């Protein structure tokens, strides 16, 4: 179990108020299809939830129960995304930064500090800190990772029903062998990222 962040709910020396710390993470930078999804979460002081860790280390069933608990028990949470069109327009990094900004802006309470998983932080209206491997170190980032992944996985399962053959339910849009072969056979769907080389190659192949 992760320890609560030392920053979370830290006392404000000027007026004694607690400081609201948001954790932010993304899911879906590597897939060939689907949006990039981000989440921002503000957890209660000294929050502890059994099994809370990096979403990639949690089984799908456990992640589902954790996501429910996080949404019920957090002070505030928000899930945001950047569309396939935005990914193609701004590139995946730019779209990810945009989605992170949307997640923080969408919180019902404005955090005073933001912890971001990764090696860079987008511009926020408040101070922030990027932490490499933060989804395994900071409970608020882990919580964001879990609800973002739960949301995106469910979306890709729905897309699998609309576009069978690509394996979205199992690969979640990542470039598995089945997915790449389906691109060559069927071409790209409206949910494919045309700026990504394998998708572009499939378009050229179909032409």
Q: Answer with the residue of higher pLDDT: 156 or 6.
A: 156
What's the pLDDT at 17? 56
The whole-number average pLDDT for the span 121-134 is 96
Does pLDDT of 8 surpass 50? no
Does pLDDT of 14 surpass 50? no
pTM, rounded to two decimals? 0.90
pLDDT level of residue 202 (50, 70, 90 thresholds)? confident
Tokens found for residue 199: 């998708």
pLDDT level of residue 24 (50, 70, 90 thresholds)? very high
Does pLDDT of 11 surpass 50? no
pLDDT in tens, 63-99: 999 999 999 999 999 999 999 999 999 999 999 999 9
What's the pLDDT at 77? 98
- Give the pairing type, strands 113-117 and 21-27: parallel
pLDDT level of residue 163 (50, 70, 90 thresholds)? very high
Domain 21-164 classification at class level: alpha beta
What's the pLDDT at 9? 42
Please tell me the distance from the alpha carbon of residue 115 to that of residue 138, in angstroms, as a whole number: 8
Domain assignments of the chain as residue spans, ordered by start: 21-164
What's the pLDDT at 10? 39
What's the pLDDT at 66? 96
Whether 169 and 160 have beta carbons less than 8 Å apart is answered as: yes
């Amino acid at each position: 179990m992760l320890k609560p962040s030392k920053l979370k709910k830290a006392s404000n020396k000027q007026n004694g108020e607690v400081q609201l710390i948001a954790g932010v993470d993304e899911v879906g930078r590597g897939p060939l299809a689907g949006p990039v999804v981000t989440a921002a979460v503000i957890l209660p002081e000294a929050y502890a939830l059994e099994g809370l860790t990096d979403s990639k280390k949690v089984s799908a069933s456990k992640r589902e129960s954790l996501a429910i608990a996080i949404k019920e028990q957090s002070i505030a949470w928000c899930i945001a995304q950047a569309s396939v069109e935005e990914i193609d327009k701004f590139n995946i990094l730019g779209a990810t930064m945009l989605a992170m900004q949307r997640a923080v802006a969408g919180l019902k309470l404005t955090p005073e500090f933001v912890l971001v998983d990764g090696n860079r932080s987008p511009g926020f209206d408040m101070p922030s800190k990027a932490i490499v491997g933060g989804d395994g170190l900071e409970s608020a980032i882990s919580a964001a990772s879990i609800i973002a992944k739960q949301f995106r996985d469910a979306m890709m399962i729905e897309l699998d029903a609309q576009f069978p053959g690509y394996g979205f339910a199992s690969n979640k849009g990542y470039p598995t062998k089945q997915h790449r072969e389906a691109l060559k056979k069927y071409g790209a769907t409206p949910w494919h990222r045309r700026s990504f080389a394998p998708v572009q190659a499939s378009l050229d192949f179909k032409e």
